Structure 1
Amino acid sequence: MRDSVESIVRISLQNIFGNKGTIFQRFRLLAEVNELQFEFLKHVTGGLDRDAVLGELMREYGKDVWNFSFFLTRRRELADDIAQDAFVKVYERLYDFRGQSSVRTWLLAITRNTAIDALRSSWLKRVILQPGRIERFASPSAEQETMRRLEADELWDSVLDLPRKLREVLLLSCHYGQSMREIAELLGISEGTVKSRLHRARAAVNRKLARGAFDAADRAADLSVEETLS
């Protein structure tokens, strides 16, 4: 039984990790083998097998775990620690996975709980965002690229400035592509609460971006007047 389960799951994992389709297609494949993964994790007993499974998870989801840690804390050094601690917990809880959610949702839930524990630490008083360095541009195409990056930075700054409860819902929905049901299960809240927080988060970001656009227009108008008078 164990050999057959391991064989099926290993082939499934190889198909997933080697799949050349879109990331969403790969996630759908992952969902299809949740039960197989559970059977595999339940039957493996050797440290080598468990290490191999953890290695696969880290290669596939390491970036997601780190990014989510950073989105929640807004601190790179802390995100490093949280991601490491999260995977330690994953290693310890491999046999707890029951296939009731996608592997990705399970990992993000562990990551979120680890981040919340870190944020509760008494020494963490504030978060400092390091402003990105803006390169001088030497051509119109470079200028356009710089403006595009500035717009993206402004959007992310708006998202990162949201309260954590709004920020995590927006990121899980828009960045990680989680469904309302998956977000509700991950956060332990109702789908109605998810929808409400998502609406408030989007409205807050839109308001901030609109204010930024108006401020930029005012500055441009003032500069135009100054140039006319000079």
Structure 2
Amino acid sequence: MGRVALVTGGSRGIGAAISEALKAAGYSVAANYAGNDEAAQKFTAETGIKTYKWSVADYDACKAGIAAVEADLGPVDVLVNNAGITRDAPFHKMTPQQWREVIDTNLTGVFNMTHNVWGGMRDRKFGRIVTISSVNGQKGQFAQANYSASKAGDIGFSRALAQEGARNNVTVNVVAPGYIATDMVMAVPEKVREAIIAQIPVGRLGEATEIARAVVFLASDEAGFITGSTISANGGQFFS
């Protein structure tokens, strides 16, 4: 295929599954990560996918990081905005720092990454932007005003940008996962997991590979008529 895909937060959890699925589909894949050097090194050793360290919240770091990826692999054809953080707290206890950190990574980070590949995609008349939102960006969640706002913002951003990229064959779409069996979710107490699963009509947590398959489809040539869309992969927990 010869196309280059860059996945932010791509060395762990859902991001790692996406990186591996894109590689299996024939893409040259670069995985960005923010801070866990040990996990990134292990991921590269196991998969052969090179990792690149920078914070998506820093515009200049994104610009430099993307330049490094493109020097190694070539122009980025597919960008998967997967990097995200949580700083949960009831709103009356939420600090300005908790708000800013989540918005800076989950929403401004999507701008920072997309803005630095957008011109090249338009010039080459091909591009795929896929952003990972969340069911909680669609329905909201207690103690996640910051996270829900950022993930809802990702959807609005993508719908607007899809209209700008369409004539240049640059599609912009969203996958909104529900609760997925990542290390973070599996680490919560069993009773909490059981309560979560009870709200999911299919009766189980999702798998990271299920999200990855949706991303691979949206990145493909076959998905060229799909833009501005949100795939809700949540087991029927919420419909939009």
Task: State the TM-score, normalizing by the size of structure 2.
Answer: 0.26
Q: When you count helix as a share of all residues, which structure comes out higher?
A: 1
Mark the structure with the bigger radius of gyration: 1
Task: State the TM-score, normalizing by the size of structure 1.
Answer: 0.26
Q: When you count strand as a share of all residues, which structure comes out higher?
A: 2
Which structure would you say has the larger RCO, counting Cα contacts within 8 Å and 6 or more residues apart? Answer: 2
